Structure 1
């Protein structure tokens, strides 16, 4: 909004206003805007959620026993705080004529809406059962397919249906008509992967922030012809603007962590986890770094695989591989303190983020 106003009125070269021409300046501004908005709005939103929900998020009866005592009464739907602040920040600082921005926002808020109804149904029924799997996945698949289609239209025709491989330069695998299906799996898959990871105070939001930090850099580089050529990456015009969206998510995420740090005053709920997962998936598809996301977001992948393996193995043998899935609950059952699990998972996420960044140079 600010960028468009300045550019529309020809003020881009005026004193100080020339800074608005730089993505780096607007990304930093978007991050700080979202963070301080979160700190300002957080107490009000949390108080409202407490007032509306009263009993807080329904705690899964089959989950770790201590959750029934320690986390009872904590409100959910904190994703509303994340979504509202990142939206305001993105609209203020991003180029609103950029199609990539609107597609990623479409996915973010589409998934957020699904998560909102899922959280609402849990609260209305006073148990941990939300939307049916068919309804939830159907909505996610539809949103992901639509988003992937429009991302294809914005991508140069020579690589619109191609899959880039990390560590290999100038290598593209043509997926043809299967690319929309692939994009759908990436976006909806990461939406649910972040959702699986969101189970302890602060556990999901820090890896989310790390992932968006890495992809803010990737989007900026891929959208810059000079940097992309130097690093031998595939140049995709206008994706640099996604760095501003990523920065807004980082600021909103850090602001949310202020209230979600142990002991949490609010949970993000499916409203937050689904929207953030879908958002990072859509950014990865836009910048053609889907497989790099599997590295950077490896923690989310591991948590998801633990659930898939547990369910498949139990159906086959009626026994369990893990004491409980997702994986963080397994370590809870083993007696690990919540803070130890969370911090160690953060460390793993940082290491994976560094490896993901290394793929930009090691080619």
Structure 2
């Protein structure tokens, strides 16, 4: 649909131009990232991407809200929650807030979006009582926020890791396979990340920072929840499968090793590959190709529109993702 393309282009151009202006007017050391032993980059970049990306996403959703069918109460809750995460993310980028404060604000933001989705928003009506559905929504949103934040550790990783799945949501909407609500959120966020990509290409001079990754995770999680209601939960799991399995397997490995999973680390599969000698572009290109394949699986599954096809494409996506994770961790040669 043209409205999806228009929202995408509006966000991409606005973000690209906005970052050009912002990089020129802000001091070179403003929100400069600190270099640590966990850093996966060699150049100190500025964490100012979120200062433009998030306002652009919000503006795009507000401008196109009527055409995208985003009702006012829901949009008010989503935008308010994004602004709250944007502010707390900026403060964390600048002052390194405690984990308790960060999680508390994330919880409030997730609850606000759950409220905005309404009491009739059901994903598992046959399995969960109605009062427990909002709890599921809040948990999913909290996971989406933190996974997006944790995985934002390499040049262009968020662009290909989050941007391609979001663009995939926009694509299935444009093809008439999903609703405008999920597609609109996907187009706005993917467009903003496209504009951001020019400034985040290796060697990156601009990072998203927490001010960008936290709200981005919220809008991505919300788009996936709405997509799940419009299509199926399997579709909503398949399209971001790389992030789900990289983050999930990393948590399990760290738990097995007795580590504090809330403590900052650099043990995601793509980070292991980078430290093992893979170039940044080799890592992100592998993730990009995988995510494009997952989007193709989603489109094919929706076109076939059969439970067996959903299961088959989920299996294909899972095997492909696990093989890439094993390759990133240097395990393929040991098989």
Query: TM-score per shorter chain, which class?
Result: 0.7 to 0.9
Is the CA contact (8 Å cut-off) linking 1:211 and 1:296 kept in structure 2? yes
The answer to whether structure 1 residue 194 and structure 2 residue 148 are counterparts is yes
Separation (CA, whole Å) in 2 of partners of 1:191 and 1:184 = 11
Gaps of 5+ in 2: 308-335
Separation (CA, whole Å) in 1 of partners of 2:162 and 2:199 = 16
Structure 2 partner of 1:356? 298
Residue 78 of structure 1 deviates from its aligned partner by 0.8
The DSSP-based 3-state class of the residue aligned with 1:162 is coil
Q: Of 312, 330, 346, which aligns to 2:272?
A: 330
Is the CA contact (8 Å cut-off) linking 2:78 and 2:116 kept in structure 1? no
Structure 1 partner of 2:160? 206
Map 1:213-362; keep pairs closer than 5 Å. Answer: 213-217=167-171, 240-287=180-227, 288=229, 289-315=232-258, 324-360=266-302, 361-362=305-306
Structure 2 partner of 1:58? 34
Q: Of 108, 123, 128, which aligns to 1:142?
A: 108
The DSSP-based 3-state class of the residue aligned with 2:124 is strand
Is the CA contact (8 Å cut-off) linking 1:105 and 1:279 kept in structure 2? no
Structure 2 partner of 1:125? none
Separation (CA, whole Å) in 1 of partners of 2:274 and 2:78 = 35
1:94-128 Cα shifts (integer Å, max 9, x gaps) = 2175444334333433332332222121xxxxxxx
Is the CA contact (8 Å cut-off) linking 2:163 and 2:193 kept in structure 1? yes
The answer to whether structure 1 residue 36 and structure 2 residue 13 are counterparts is yes
The answer to whether structure 1 residue 115 and structure 2 residue 89 are counterparts is yes
Separation (CA, whole Å) in 1 of partners of 2:256 and 2:72 = 46
Structure 2 partner of 1:88? 59
1:55-80 Cα shifts (integer Å, max 9, x gaps) = x211233445xx3xx222x1013111
- Greater shift in the superposed pair: 272-281 or 92-101: 92-101
Is the CA contact (8 Å cut-off) linking 2:11 and 2:60 kept in structure 1? yes
Structure 2 partner of 1:71? 43
Residue 182 of structure 1 deviates from its aligned partner by 0.9
Residue 218 of structure 1 deviates from its aligned partner by 5.1
| RMSD of aligned Cα (Å) | 2.7
Change (3 A) 1:59 1:292: farther
Separation (CA, whole Å) in 1 of partners of 2:174 and 2:77 = 17
> Which TM-score applies when normalising by structure 1?
0.73
Change (3 A) 1:293 1:111: farther
Is the CA contact (8 Å cut-off) linking 1:205 and 1:253 kept in structure 2? yes
Change (3 A) 1:324 1:249: closer
Is the CA contact (8 Å cut-off) linking 1:194 and 1:274 kept in structure 2? yes
Which portions of structure 1, spanning 4 or more consecutive aligned residues, are displaced by more than 4 angstroms? 217-221
Aligned residues: 295
1:288-319 Cα shifts (integer Å, max 9, x gaps) = 25553332111211232243123212217x9x
Radius of gyration: which is bigger? 1
Separation (CA, whole Å) in 1 of partners of 2:129 and 2:234 = 14
Change (3 A) 1:85 1:182: same
Separation (CA, whole Å) in 2 of partners of 1:40 and 1:53 = 19
Separation (CA, whole Å) in 1 of partners of 2:181 and 2:266 = 41
The answer to whether structure 1 residue 161 and structure 2 residue 105 are counterparts is no
Gaps of 5+ in 1: 1-23, 122-129, 165-171, 229-238
Change (3 A) 1:294 1:175: farther
Separation (CA, whole Å) in 1 of partners of 2:53 and 2:28 = 19
